[in-house]
């Protein structure tokens, strides 16, 4: 929970300076039907505010993992500049938290952290209502264990993406009710989003959230408040790092020079965005939530490398993704293509033998051994065309497989 005070006025026509309430759910994407089980979100955000969720459809987290995503959200910077890129040491975690003994302070028996934080949140709003100064309030709620069985009859929808519902707490209803009871709701921007998405069976993957697919990175984003159109939708890609510049803009605070984004067009007076590409990145290994407990207790678990860079380009008539993984698999595939695009005879059947004449590589898996990395990166020529022709002309086909590779 983060609370602070802001001291600027955005709209001179407003009689009061705006407040801000940011609610961030955990692991909630747009595709698994969870919003259908959140009547409070439907009522207080989708109906009363602007949704960065439909035609613009594309609000992305910059990194699909808890701590890195939240840090980028609050700083307006990408993970490669905050250097908070993981939830485990050495690039994340809380060794200092433990070293200072803070993990020894437990709640008394019978108390639950979700209830305690929720009550303190509402108490803060009660206290803030008595002050003339505006406030910023950030609450990342977590569902209590007792909520696990709220929907015993819910079934995972068998759509093309195999989308299941995800339950989220109705804390937003308590916030809006408390704000309304103190006559603060009309002067407060209330924002709802998630740190990252989640997949359950999509793309033949076990449950998790660390890929650059839509289910993991495309998250809900709703905002309501002074000057925000009701029931509207924004038709443009945005990122979590846009959030802090947006709050600065709405509060009338000058933009910081080190911000790496611009305010979202949330109000009727906002300028339209001019960019169409967003950066999504990730560092770490790919693991299923099913095996996360094993990972935390046994660091010898062999997990697939999952560090990648990806760019999303969204505009009228197109929605594209390009990604590059740290394993440089594309270099191996380009090597394979270099052989197959001009192969002859047995080369077409056994292409790996042309690249590795000694026969120690017969598959992509074997070619991915680290000892071949330099070979593929430094010696394998790039596949390209010298010109576009309507028929096969060798002189237009770019580089051919090197003679030294041939048996």
Confidence of residue 49 (pLDDT cuts 50, 70, 90): low
Q: Which of 80-89, 142-151, 253-262, 278-287 is predicted most confidently?
A: 253-262
pLDDT value of position 54: 40
- pLDDT, one tens digit per residue, over 385-406 is 888 876 677 888 888 875 445 4
- Asked whether the whole model's pTM tops 0.75, one would answer no
Q: What percent of the chain has pLDDT over 70?
A: 75
Average model confidence (pLDDT) for the chain? 76
pLDDT at 13: 47
* 119 vs 168, residue with greater confidence: 119
Q: 3-state SS of the chain?
A: CEEEECCCCCCCCCCCCCEEEEEEECCCCCCCCHHHHCHHHHHHHHCCCEECCCCCCCEECCCCCHHHHHHHHHHCCCHHHHCCCCCCCCCCCCHHHHHCCHHHCCCCCCCCHHHHHHHHHHHHHHHHCCCCCCEEEEECCCCCHHHCCCCCCCCCCCCCCCCCCCCCCCHHHHHHHHHHHCCCHHHEEEEEEECCCCECCHHHCCCECCCCCHHHHECCEEEECCCCCCCEECCCCEEHHHHHHHHHHHHCCCCCCCCCCCCCCCCCCCCCCCCCEEEEEECCEECCHHHHHHHHHCCCCCCEECCEEEEEEEECCEEEEEEEECCCHHHHHHHHHHHHCCCCHHHHCCHHHHHCCCCCCCCHHHHCCHHHHHHHHHHCCCCCCCCCCCCCCHHHCCCCCCHHHCC
For residue 61, give the nearest of 260, 236, 197 by alpha carbon: 197
Confidence at residue 256, expressed as pLDDT on a 0 to 100 scale = 93
Q: In this structure, what token pair is assigned to residue 371? A: 């000892």
Q: What is the mean pLDDT of residues 273-296?
A: 65
CB neighbourhood size of 53 (10 A): 21
Q: Are 222 and 53 in contact (CB under 8 A)?
A: yes
pLDDT surpassing 90 at residue 58: no
Residues in the chain: 407
Distance, in Å, from the CA atom of 287 to the CA atom of 87, rounded to the nearest integer, reads 13
CATH topology of domain 2-273: Alkaline Phosphatase, subunit A (3.40.720)
pLDDT band (50, 70, 90) for residue 304:
low
**Stretch(es) of the chain classified as CATH 3.40.720.10:** 2-273
Give the DSSP letter string of 318-355: EEEEEEEETT-HHHHHHHHHHHHTT--GGGGT-HHHHH
Residue 255 has pLDDT above 90, yes or no: yes
How would residue 100 be classed by pLDDT, with cut points 50, 70 and 90?
A: low
When comparing pLDDT for 14 and 355, which is higher?
355
């Amino acid at each position: 929970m983060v609370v602070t005070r802001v001291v600027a006025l955005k709209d001179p026509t407003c009689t009061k300076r705006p407040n801000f309430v940011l609610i961030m759910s955990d692991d909630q994407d747009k595709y698994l039907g969870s919003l259908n089980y959140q009547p409070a979100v439907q009522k207080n955000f989708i109906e009363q505010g602007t949704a960065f969720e439909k035609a613009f459809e594309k609000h992305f987290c910059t990194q699909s993992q808890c701590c890195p995503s939240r840090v980028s959200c609050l700083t307006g910077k990408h993970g490669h500049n905050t250097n908070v890129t993981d939830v485990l040491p050495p690039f994340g975690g809380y060794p200092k938290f433990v070293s200072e003994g803070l993990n020894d302070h437990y709640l008394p028996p019978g108390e639950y952290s979700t209830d305690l934080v929720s009550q303190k949140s509402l108490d803060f709003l009660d206290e803030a209502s008595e002050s003339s100064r505006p406030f910023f309030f950030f609450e990342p709620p977590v569902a209590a264990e007792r909520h696990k069985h709220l929907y015993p009859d819910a079934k995972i929808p068998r759509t093309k993406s195999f989308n299941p519902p995800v339950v989220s707490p109705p804390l937003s209803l308590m916030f809006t009710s408390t704000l309304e009871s103190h006559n603060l709701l009309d002067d407060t921007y209330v924002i709802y989003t998630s740190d990252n998405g989640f997949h359950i069976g999509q793309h033949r993957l076990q449950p998790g959230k660390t890929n650059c697919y839509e289910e993991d990175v495309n998250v809900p984003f709703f905002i309501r408040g002074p000057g925000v159109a009701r029931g509207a939708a924004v038709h443009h890609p945005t990122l979590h790092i846009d959030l802090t510049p947006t709050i600065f803009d709405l509060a009338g605070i000058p933009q910081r020079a080190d911000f790496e984004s611009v305010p979202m067009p949330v109000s009727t007076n906002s300028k339209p965005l001019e960019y169409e590409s967003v950066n999504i990145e990730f560092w770490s290994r790919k693991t299923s939530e099913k095996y996360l407990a094993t990972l935390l207790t046994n660091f010898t678990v062999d997990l697939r490398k999952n560090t990648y860079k990806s760019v999303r380009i969204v505009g009228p008539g197109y929605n594209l993704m390009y990604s590059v993984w740290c394993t440089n698999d594309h270099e191996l595939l380009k090597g394979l293509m270099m052989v197959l695009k001009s192969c002859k005879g047995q080369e077409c059947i056994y292409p790996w033998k042309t690249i590795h004449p000694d026969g120690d590589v017969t598959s992509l898996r074997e070619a991915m051994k680290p000892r071949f990395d330099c070979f593929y990166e430094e010696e394998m020529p790039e596949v390209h065309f010298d010109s576009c022709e309507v028929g096969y002309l060798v002189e237009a086909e770019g580089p051919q497989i090197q003679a030294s590779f041939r048996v």
